[in-house]
Amino acid sequence: MDIDFKNIKKYELDLSRGIAKSDGPEDHQRLLEAMAFMRESQNQSQKQPHISEGPGRASPFPSTKSLTLLELLDKYFLLKKVKPATILAHKNTVKEFEAFFKLKCHISEIQVGDITRFQEYLASKGNVPRTIDGKIGYIKALLNFAIKQGYLLNQKNPAENMSLMTKRQKLSDGYLIFETEEIKQIFTSDYYKEQKQSDPDYYYVLLLGLVTGCRISEITTLTKSQFQISEHRNNFIVIRDSKTSAGKREIPLPSHFFDDDFKKYFDSKEDFIFRYVSREGKGSGNAVGKKFARHLAELKINRGKLVFHSLRKFLNDYFMKNEIPYEPRCQFFGHEIESVNVATYSNKFGVDKLAEIIIQQQLKLLRMTKLIPESEMFKKLPQAD
């Protein structure tokens, strides 16, 4: 197309200075059309997603149309049954995440690069890989919840597959298992024997940890009603509250546990057996855990990560080495059984059958630690009331 550039009709439009000039009615009409077009373009641009200037931000989703991470956390707690310690851990992680980026984190804007930078930040503050994985795990759980509930659409979870440690590394880097000689040292020590008079709560929590393998929180929250007797006169503890269905279980106890001293201690209680109170974010076992650490230090047992939970690991290992079969062990400790054949096509052991399988090994352990004399092994003590 040939254009004569010397014969072009022009209008002048400068919105920044408020100038609009036209030459004749035709140019005036074109000027009005241009202004209308520009207004429409401006309106369209205002409807486009807002891209914030935070690190790694290039989300196709407008931040005003997604929840912040803290708002998501409130919804998570509303719909999920979460223990106080877990609530505190989630809150602290979310606050730390937002403090690092110095802005409110809209969940639609979080990207893989943000997770990586947060990991690097945590590492620079001295967090070990296990701790970092735990905190990223909280973020991942929240974003999975957002995707499931429809708060986050058309996006993959940026925290997925971001663990620093493999499953094998987590197992090898976890709490250690007490050795038999260490167990003997702990329970035959003068320090432990003195606790029976000076701090019976601590004494009996540790004793229950040894023979039941219960978690510290399961023991310190025990009530009198959880101590029961079966129709065949076997003593057992009922664990009613657990994070899994397998964790709700009945744990046999040898009658030798209920000697006169324990019965006197037990009868002096109103409801809760132990005096430990739950602290926000710490549970009810925090004081026991700290005293147990001092107990180990007193005995100069300082081999790696040995904690109260190591008693649970020891008992499971002890049962395995003494040929307690896999299925009753899982039921005793409240572990899920992933085998379809076992989990789906078989019933649980009754508490009396479980007692028949377990109690002799519990008695061997009590004899080994001199908590009952050998002469008491076959003496039938009165049953708990």
Q: What is the CATH number of the domain that holds 80?
A: 1.10.150.130
- For 150-204, the pLDDT digits (tens) are 998 878 999 999 998 887 777 666 789 999 999 999 999 999 999 999 999 999 9
- 82-88 contacts: CB < 8 A, separation 24 or more? 83/243, 83/283, 84/278, 84/280, 84/281, 84/283, 85/280, 85/281, 85/282, 85/283, 87/281, 88/280, 88/281
Exposed (0-12), middle (13-18) or buried (19+): which is 47, by Cβ within 10 Å? Answer: exposed
The predicted pLDDT at position 206 comes to 96
**Longest C-alpha distance within the chain, in Å?**
121
**Domain with 193 in it:** 180-376
One domain, residues 200 and 328: yes
One domain, residues 165 and 209: no
One domain, residues 233 and 84: no
One domain, residues 262 and 318: yes
Number of domains in the chain: 2
Among the candidates 133, 148, 172, a domain finishes at 172
Among the candidates 126, 152, 172, a domain finishes at 172
One domain, residues 140 and 216: no
- For 14-63, the pLDDT digits (tens) are 766 667 777 777 777 777 777 777 766 665 554 444 434 444 444 444 44
373 vs 43, residue with greater confidence: 373
One domain, residues 215 and 313: yes
29-33, 205-209, 292-296, 357-361: the lowest-pLDDT one: 29-33
One domain, residues 100 and 200: no
Residue 367 lies in a domain: yes
Mean pLDDT on 8-13: 69
Among the candidates 172, 196, 224, a domain finishes at 172
The predicted pLDDT at position 274 comes to 92
One domain, residues 119 and 72: yes
Whether the per-residue pLDDT at 79 is higher than 50: the answer is yes
Residue 42 lies in a domain: no
Residue 55 lies in a domain: no
Q: What is the CATH number of the domain that holds 190?
A: 1.10.443.10
Residue 301 lies in a domain: yes
User: pLDDT exceeding 90 applies to what percent of the chain?
Assistant: 51
One domain, residues 276 and 324: yes
One domain, residues 166 and 202: no
Residue 186 lies in a domain: yes
